[in-house]
Amino acid sequence: MGDCEKKDWKSTAHALDPISRPEIVKAVAAVKKSRVDDAIRFNVVDVEEPPKLALLSGETTRRVVSVTFQVESKAFVARVDVGSGTVLETRELEGGQQPMLTPDDCLLAESVVKDDPRFKSLLAERYGILDAEKVACDPWSVHCTGSEPFDTSKRLVQTFLYARDSEIDNAYAKPLDALPVVDLVARKLVHIGIQGSSPELGSRVEVPMSYNYHPKLLSQNSLKGCPTAPRQGATVPRPLEIIQPEGPSFTVEGQLVRWDKWTLRVGFNHREGLVLNEVRFAGELVVWRASLVEMAVPYADAEHPFQRKCAFDVGDYGLGYCANSLGLGCDCLGHIHYFDATLSDSKGDPYTVEKAVCMHEEDDGILWKHMEYRTGHAQSRRSRKLVLSFIATVVNYEYLFYWYCKQDGTLSLEIKLTGMLSTNSIPAGSQPQHGTLVAPLVNAQVHQHMFCARLDMAVGGHENSIAEVDVETALQGDENPWGNVFLKTEKVLKTEKEAQRDADASVARTWRIFNGSRTNGVSKKTMGYKLVPFVFGPAQPSLLTHPDSMVAKRGVFATKSVWVTRYREGQRWPAGDYTVQSDGREGRAVERWAEGDESIEGQDLVVYHSFGVCHVPRPEDFPVMPCESTGFMLKPDSFLVCNPSIDLPESASTMSKCNQCGA
């Protein structure tokens, strides 16, 4: 059961409100008016967040919209005052910088490939495919390594190919071994590559068999042991409903959300998707701004052309651009408040992704319990959490982002990965060196998903410090005569370079962000929150590619678990403002921000936390992948004087029943 609570989330204006349709229209009109003789292709139209100092002082009186657009092969960024409708300034992107690939760019790349006569001939001669619409062309940004047989100064998209018999057929079961590359500006096919282990052009290649997960096509599955029909009878799970007879416990006013002892503002943009602003617990600031700011997804296959297979999904495609419209009763359960997202297309026209963000409550098991064994008296409270989520489909993968606010003061981010493995063909009888056979002739390559969360911390205020906390075995001696002692060590990280750290599960490493001017009345420690890695999955390594690889140069952020810098305006994207076809200079952004090695004690701090999943595919990940999870939590550590949930009243579900007795 699901109830939809959908109100106008623009009803209360605030400086951090997402962009509106009228603002897009006004900004686009201003840019068109300033360039009446140009054929413009719009890339991004989004609101420019006010400077933090202006927000804190209440001096934000002007809404500025940033407009990224292309005129032939050149790209520009204009800043528009939407109040007056005037263009404040326009600058051209530097040489080598490419704006992100929009949904329209991805569709354009596929149409260019399918319309090319050479491609149609290739399909017929090599695969026996006579209709180009029987092929899916997955659009990927080009990870340039210096070995490309085409001009990488152009605006490029490479398209991985898959055969399919219908729109619901699982194309990833039928990968093809050719890789076309498109020049988006010229709208032409500039190169067709072939896998290194494949027969040369002109040879006929076998297309793998069908292998499906859609219920209408299960009967086509011929692989022994794979279901060939939907479940029926006793094996079908019985209904499981979420019922809230009195409605939800949250309130929504514009983008301001209040729930339990939490308050926060919900934001959304084309690049990060969901953003949390001004997060407070029990009336105190915890985080000023929290979001997912980058991803690197390198594939570990040395065979040509897979050295070019590495996407930076946030910077290359934009999580907001890839956001799903969420379905009631499956994507989210319970009494739900939805937030729409307003975006724009390549013509500059606004459009709405309805139900882009879902907010609801979930039961979270037992929050706390104790039974006094002498008397049998027990006290127990159930936990619930507020969930704010959105789902982004980035070509083949679905990324499910869940921010959780819990009643013990914990704020956490869980990312679930599902969708489709990006597969490639493999010759019959071969065993993949860099992947796993998930179906006959189908290889799923080993890869990583490296995420980076940007946490603009404000624990009890904006002047914070950070310490690394380890727990280690104590040396045996006078202070540890029995060998049972293990010690907590807390090292304050004093400068930006010192605060480039690696996670270490062997010493239970966490990082404590604290306010040195405020002391906890019980522990006598400074008021703090701790960053805890590896919460929703096993401990995982940082980036595994060689330090000299182009992946490591473009994605320096992924080589460390934690980076800490002072807050500076304009520093948000750890792999650079423009990741499409970026080089090692752009990708060093977060490292470059720390080059001054400034003090981070008692400063306005931003923590960049990198974490991820090392995915060694299994047959069980195919033909569609069950969710894999990763994430982290921010947990109060001397932020409060006691368990903040002891004031919760006793409650018991009136809907629960005993299976044996029926009571």
pLDDT digits (tens, 9 = 90+) for 292-306: 999 999 999 999 999
CB atoms within 10 A of CB 591: 17
Whole-number pLDDT of residue 191: 97
What does the pLDDT average to over 386-395?
A: 98
Half-sphere exposure of residue 604: CA atoms within 13 angstroms, side-chain side:
10
- Kindly report the pTM of this predicted structure: 0.96
Instruction: List the Cα angle 397/613/422 in 5-degree steps.
Output: 30
Query: From the candidates 397, 402, 529, 567, which is the catalytic residue?
Result: 397
Residue with tokens 């006078």: 478
CB atoms within 10 A of CB 284: 18
Average pLDDT of the chain is: 95
- Region of residue 145 (phi > 0: left; psi between -120 and 50: alpha; otherwise: beta): alpha
Average the pLDDT over 629-637 and give the result: 99
Strands 377-394 and 64-71: unpaired
Q: Kindly state the average pLDDT of the residues 32-49.
A: 95
The total number of residues shown for the chain amounts to 663
> DSSP per residue over 270-299, as a string?
TTTEEEEEEEEETTEEEEEEEEEEEEEEEB
pLDDT tops 60 at residue 617: yes
The dihedrals phi and psi of 195, each to the nearest 5 degrees, come to -55, 145
Locus of tokens 């292998």: 211
pLDDT in tens, 115-143: 999 999 999 999 999 999 999 999 999 99
Instruction: Give me the pLDDT at residue 4, please.
Output: 59
Q: What is the pLDDT of residue 1?
A: 40
560: nearest Cα among 503, 505, 615, 514: 503
* pLDDT (mean) for 46-64: 90
Whether the predicted pLDDT of 425 surpasses 60: yes
pLDDT tens for each residue of 545-577: 999 999 999 999 999 999 999 999 999 999 999
Helix (H) or strand (E) holding 321: none
465-517 pLDDT, tens digit per residue, is 999 999 999 999 999 999 999 999 999 999 999 999 999 999 999 999 999 99
Is residue 657 predicted with pLDDT exceeding 80?
Answer: no
Per-residue pLDDT at 329 exceeds 80: no
Amino acid sitting at position 255: Q
SS3 for 34-49 is: HCCCCCEEEEEEEEEC
Kind of pairing between the strands at 86-92 and 411-419:
unpaired
The CA distance from 499 to 553, in Å, is 19
Contacts of 365 (CB under 8 A, 6+ apart): 382, 383
Name the β-bridge partners of 91.
77
Residues ≥6 apart with Cβ < 8 Å to 627: 400, 416, 417, 418
Query: Amino acid identity of 171?
Result: A
**Is pLDDT above 50 for 424?**
yes
Cβ distance 464 to 602 under 8 Å? yes
Tell me how far apart the alpha carbons of residues 484 and 508 are, in angstroms, rounded to a whole number. 17
CA–CA separation, 323 and 331 (whole Å): 13
Q: Cα separations (Å) of 636 from 157, 292, 395?
A: 45, 21, 37
The phi-psi region of residue 280 (left if phi > 0; otherwise alpha if psi is between -120 and 50; otherwise beta) is beta
3-state secondary structure 215-274: CCCHHHCCCCCCCCCCCCHHHCCCCCCCCCCCCCCCEEECCEEEECCEEEEEEEECCCEE
How far apart are the C-alpha atoms of 183 and 600, rounded to whole Å? 45
| DSSP H stretches of helix in 421-565 | 550-554
CA nearest 204: which of 130, 126, 118? 126
| CA 424/CA 173 separation, integer angstroms | 9
> What's the Cα-to-Cα distance from 30 to each of 47, 73, 90, rounded to whole Å?
14, 21, 12
- Tell me what the mean pLDDT of segment 82-103 comes to: 96
Q: Pairing mode, if any, of strands 397-406 and 377-394?
A: antiparallel
Catalytic annotation on 397?
yes
- Sign, CA torsion 91/93/98/100: negative
- 418 pLDDT band, cuts 50/70/90, is very high
**Is residue 17 annotated as part of the catalytic site, yes or no?**
no
Could you tell me the two tokens for 278? 């001004």
List the end-to-end C-alpha distance of the chain, in Å, as a whole number.
23
Residue 7 pLDDT: 43
pLDDT band at 58 (very low <50, low <70, confident <90, very high): confident
- Ramachandran area for residue 348 (φ above 0: left; ψ -120 to 50: alpha; else beta): left
Q: How far apart are CA 606 and CA 496, in angstroms?
A: 10
Q: Which residues contact 529 (CB under 8 A, 6 or more apart)?
A: 286, 457, 459, 512, 513, 514, 634, 635, 636, 637, 639
Q: Which of 260, 313, 456, 637 is catalytic?
A: 313
Tokens for 53, please give them. Answer: 């100092």
Mean per-residue pLDDT, 192-213? 87
**CB-side neighbour CA atoms (13 Å) of 575:** 35
Provide DSSP, 325-367: PPPBTTTB-EEEEEEEEEEE-TTS-EEEEEEEEEEEEEEEEEE
Pick from 7-16, 92-101, 284-293, 603-612: least confident: 7-16
Query: Which residue type is seen at 429?
Result: G
